[in-house]
Amino acid sequence: MTTSAPVVVPLPPAGVDPAWLPSEAFRALGSRRILVCGTGALVDTVHGEVAWACGAFGGSVVRAEEPGDDRPYDLLLHLDEHLDAPEPLGDEGFTLVRRRGRTAVAAAGQRGLLYGLFHVVRLGEAAFGGARAREAHRPALASRMLDHWDNVAVHPVMGQVERGYAGGSLFWRDGRARGDLERVRTYGRLLAACGINAIAVNNVNVHATEAHLLTDRIGEVAEIAGALRPYGIRTHLSVTFAAPLVLGGPATADPLDEAVRAWWAEVTGRVYAAIPDFGGYVVKADSEGQPGPFAYGRSHADGANLLADALAPYGGTVHWRAFVYDHRQDWRDRSTDRACAAYDHFVPLDGRFRDNAVLQVKHGPMDFQVREPVSPVIGALPRTRLAVEVQATQEYTGQQRHVCALAPMWSQVLRWCPEGETGTSVGGLARGGLVAVSNAGDDPYWTGHPLAQANLYTVGRLGWQPDADPFALLDEWIDLTFTPARTEAPERLVAGLRAVLYRSWSTYEKYTAPLGVGFMVQPGHHYGPSVDGYEYSPWGTYHFADRDGVGVDRTSATGTGYAGQYARPWAAVYESPDTCPDELLLFFHHVPYGQVLHSGRTVIQHIYDTHFEGVAEVEEARQVWASLVDLVEPARHARVAERYEEQLRGAREWRDHINSYFFRKSGVPDAHGRRIH
């Protein structure tokens, strides 16, 4: 039997548990006798976590190379290279069983043992009571990744973090690496606890300073990777397609040029010399002004394969974003439809991407709106590895000043079946994994709004299990985050948190853009209402409201043809306003204000009613949160209460802008006689 010094586990600031994994969440684990068996860096992390917990709560831990039944223990955490199960568990899977008063977690790989430990923490006392038949756990998606839109140098418009609503970057400040690696390591710990296993540490819009992270500043990336590595997280880097030109390489970035291919191979070799477990590259090309293969008459497959070939000898992956569209559209031209662009660009390339190239597709065809149909691209490239991209940072869903728990929306996306109810779901088709734009920053509560942490937690858990009940995942976050208070008045606290989280997405949708039409936001910063803000712009984000009706005709018969990009039965469902779901009606159809929805209300009355309802629901949620003041740590409660004041102000602003706009357009009064300006 041997013991080893524990890994130092980062703790929350004194007196504050700012996120999930507060110290109290480890009480059930830390009060037991625990045996940790196995060797390796991540086993060291597991042992460090357990040793800290036992030191805090009176338990004991022994480290050994092999388990033994003669040793007294309540929990065994051990590696088993010969672990058998009905199906292979891989490096990240684990089993859990409880018999004869002992709980055992076994894993074939070190990552699996780490995830098994955090599963025990989630279970709490339930992990140590009664008997449990052998359970096998493995992630459905091999890659669960966060993209940080963090700039190294402060951007004159977007700042340190593009679409960042939680303070500054965790990694960069004023052109340099922050050097606060303990904070980064704590972040890695939080992410491992919810199943995230990969991070891209810089913005997909790669500017001149950020380009140098690939070469002369790779050491800074290596330090970040070193801080994340103890929690099984692989580091990725966003790179510019024009890197050879920007960084003094060949005088071209043509992906078929042999000098360019040699340059990328050499540079990538140096990256792996600095970061042996480097994950790969993320690329935004030929999109919103970013350079790409179109400049050389080449395809996106040519561009992606260039980088995939450079990464292949090291096991790396290139994530090539499918967010490609005409952002200089003529608003007068109704035949051009931004929604069609990704399908038109990428479906003809199916089967032409390398095996280690992942096409990263936004979950909807537009841009992370509160309501969009699922992108038809996801079901249309069976020979291409696809990753589904969602946005945890709340660019169009309240910017972490409004409560909007997005797990229910993401769940709907991941459960949707492109070929009908009996087909394979989006979660099953996402062979390249789930990617989320991170909502974390250097704010003390990590996400600006403390309740926005739920989005960061649940996106990782949905990557592990895309068909999980999203409300059960919200409950997990509540249990882990508010554990100390739950010991005092658990039923009232949980009921209150469920009340403010469970329907928050629906509430936000009610008081913003109606029936799937999208946008209607202030240009540039995208916060607050502006119904015509983008209506006459080149961005392709239109609603086409006039005196007679509203919505975009995307039918095959009379419109842009977008509805025809879907397979049956969805193409037929979306083609007709009689079968199109109410919540997407204005996305697919231009209809009269008097059009009767399946709900029985007219379009115009739906607009009025939902906007009044949304404000009322925010007022109710604010009161519920106020009632929890005795159960929530004071600083956290005050932060959320302050955000609720802004949410209520914003919801009223949205209500009055939208209702007044459509009253003035349609001339139809509210059936209930409420005040519309």
290-310 residue pLDDT tens: 999 999 999 999 999 999 999
Q: Which of 7, 10, 22 is nearest to 450 (CA)?
A: 22
- Tell me the per-residue pLDDT of 393-409, one tens digit each, with 9 for 90 and over: 999 999 999 999 999 99
Lowest mean pLDDT among 14-18, 87-91, 161-165, 596-600: 14-18
pLDDT of residue 378: 97
Looking at residue 8, its pLDDT comes to 61
Provide the 10 A C-beta neighbour count for residue 449: 29
In the chain, the largest separation of any two C-alpha atoms, in whole Å, equals 82
Say how far apart CA 90 and CA 73 lie, in whole Å: 27
Residues 378 and 590: their CA atoms lie apart, in Å, by 26
**491-550 confidence digits (pLDDT tens):** 999 999 999 999 999 999 999 999 999 999 999 999 999 999 999 999 999 999 999 999
- Confidence band of 201 (pLDDT split at 50, 70, 90): very high
Give yes or no for residue 271 having a pLDDT over 60.
yes
pLDDT given for residue 80 in this prediction: 93
For residue 266, indicate whether it is catalytic.
Answer: no
**Top-confidence residue, 130 or 450:** 450
Distances (CA, A) of 632 to 403, 478, 497, 599: 17, 12, 11, 39
Q: Region 163-190: what's the mean pLDDT? A: 96
Task: Using a pLDDT cut of 70, give the percent of the chain over it.
Answer: 97
| 653 flagged as catalytic | no
pLDDT, tens only, 71-101:
789 999 999 988 877 778 999 999 999 999 9
Which one of 288, 333, 630, 645 is the catalytic residue? 288
User: Is 128's pLDDT higher than 90?
Assistant: yes
pLDDT at 71: 79
Please tell me the distance from the alpha carbon of residue 91 to that of residue 95, in angstroms, as a whole number: 12
Q: Which of 14-18, 268-272, 451-455 has the lowest mean pLDDT?
A: 14-18
Q: Is there a contact between 406 and 436 (Cβ–Cβ < 8 Å)? A: no
592 strand-pairing partners: 549
pLDDT the model gives residue 179: 86
* Lowest pLDDT segment from 67-71, 185-189, 194-198, 603-607: 67-71
Average pLDDT, the chain: 95
**pLDDT higher than 70, residue 6:** no
Q: Would you state the pLDDT for residue 11?
A: 52
What pLDDT sits at residue 17?
58
pLDDT at 512: 98
Could you say which of 49, 367, 479, 609 is catalytic? 367
Q: CA end-to-end span of the chain, whole Å?
A: 77
Among the listed residues 44, 150, 395, 476, the single catalytic one is 395
CA–chain centroid gap for 321, Å, is 15
Identify the band that residue 36 occupies on the pLDDT scale cut at 50, 70 and 90.
very high
The count of other CB atoms within 10 Å of the CB of residue 630 is: 12
**pLDDT at 1 exceeding the cut of 90:** no
pLDDT band at residue 9 under the 50/70/90 scheme: low
pTM: 0.96
If pLDDT is split at 50, 70 and 90, which confidence band does 12 have? very low
pLDDT single digits (tens) 320-369:
999 999 999 999 999 999 999 999 999 999 999 999 999 999 999 999 99
The closest alpha carbon to 390, from 415, 358, 367, 356, belongs to 367
Mean pLDDT value of segment 587-594:
98
Q: How far apart are CA 445 and CA 427, in angstroms?
A: 30
Is 367 among the catalytic positions? yes
Q: What is the pLDDT of residue 82?
A: 83
